[in-house]
Amino acid sequence: MSELPSIITDNPTVLGIESSCDETAVAIVRGDRTIIAERIASQEAEHAPYGGVVPEIAARAHAERLAPMLEAVMADADMTLEDVDAIAATAGPGLIGGVMVGLVSAKALAMASDKPLIAVNHLEGHALSPRLADPDLGFPYLLLLVSGGHCQILLVEGVGEYRRLATTIDDALGEAFDKTAKILGLGYPGGPKVEKLALTGDASAVSLPRPLKGSKEPHFSFAGLKSAVLRAYDSGEHRSEDIAASFQQAAIDCLIDRLSHALKDLETPPSLVVAGGVAANTAIRSALEAFANKHHMRFAAPPLALCTDNAAMIAWAGCERMPLEQSDPLDFKARPRWPLDPEAEKARGAGVKA
């Protein structure tokens, strides 16, 4: 492999590509936090008949949409590849077919333009996204990363310095929202639908468990909560809106309990930050903000569009890495599993994602 192209470290302009799940997205972001252009196409309609993301359909849809979207974003920005300082793409974790579409495209663009390639960990994109929106958010911060595939508490000490304090031993929280939506017949994607229905329900109407609440181990568990939702529904004794509200409250209680546990081991409570798709949930954001206020922690949550999957966060992760002179070779391998903190101890349970 030839030498890596040189890196512009001062206020770089980065083209970012995201294709790890069911959103095809392209963005151009500058180091001064300007989102110069951005497009995103959801595949909701393609996956809705199946009640969840079908990997093969997702990969095909990314392959069809990505090239025209790249062209459109460059046109929106009135830029050519010459005006871009690096090409960043999600290289994992995620559905391998989709990741490969985005990563291979980024490699081709990097090779054609002789610009550096930045292979971004999708979780790093989420983890740094709050700093794109909030210039005053410095390191370190305690990050609650809650998405469709992950539920983790991380101590973010700097770019590339992530210490995982907790993870889920079974389902991710977004997954639990999606399954609850499926049980209640709300359709896909479920999180926003459960949140909306919960607004009209009574959160104390259905008695649901808070798995691992009070446990000495730091982790999350949501499988038992999901099964309890199914039992409550099957009993025929409860209104759907009450089940949705009670489920959401149980989830919030678990998040707060596990964050309290994580705080115990930290000398100075840093800022509290939430990111990932589930961070779009207003009830969860409010509960976390109240928790942060109680503990005299600064609270930050990205705007809703930066919570769910997007390419601006991937381009931004590229901007963050440029000053560290970190780029990747053109033979970088897509990684369907890619932990942010490889040193983290394995949590018990087999279903740990990433």
Identify the residue among 38, 281, 288, 313 touching ligand KG4 (CB under 6 A): 281
Q: Which does 273 bind (CB under 5 to 8 A by kind): Zn ion, ligand KG4, none?
A: none
**Cα–Cα dist 353/339, whole Å:** 8
Under rule CB under 6 A, residue 312 binds ligand KG4 = no
Under rule CB under 6 A, residue 191 binds ligand KG4 = yes
- Furthest-apart CA atoms within the chain: distance in Å: 67
**Cα–Cα dist 197/243, whole Å:** 9
Under rule CB under 6 A, residue 98 binds ligand KG4 = no
Residues between 60 and 99 with contacts to Zn ion, criterion CB under 5 A: none
Could you tell me which of 116, 133, 217, 121 has the C-alpha nearest to residue 162?
121
Under rule CB under 6 A, residue 192 binds ligand KG4 = yes
Cβ contacts of residue 148 below 8 Å, gap of 6+?
A: 21, 172, 174, 175, 178, 277
Identify the residue among 148, 218, 302, 318 touching ligand KG4 (CB under 6 A): 148
Q: Closest distance between ligand KG4 and the C-beta of residue 344, in Å?
A: 19
315-354 footprint of ligand KG4 as x/- string (CB under 6 A): ----------------------------------------
Residues between 8 and 47 with contacts to ligand KG4, criterion CB under 6 A: 21
Strands 141-146 and 151-158, bridge-based pairing: antiparallel
Angle at 196 between CA 299 and CA 207, to 5 degrees: 85
Query: At residue 239, what are phi and psi to the nearest 5 degrees?
Result: -75, 145
Q: Closest distance between ligand KG4 and the C-beta of residue 115, in Å?
A: 26
Q: Closest distance between ligand KG4 and the C-beta of residue 278, in Å?
A: 4
Where are the alpha helices (H) located in the chain, listed in sequence order? 44-47, 55-77, 96-113, 122-133, 173-183, 191-198, 223-234, 240-264, 282-294, 304-307, 312-321
**Contact residues: ligand KG4, CB under 6 A:** 21, 147-149, 174, 177-178, 189-192, 195, 276-278, 280-281, 308-309
**Contact residues: Zn ion, CB under 5 A:** 147, 309
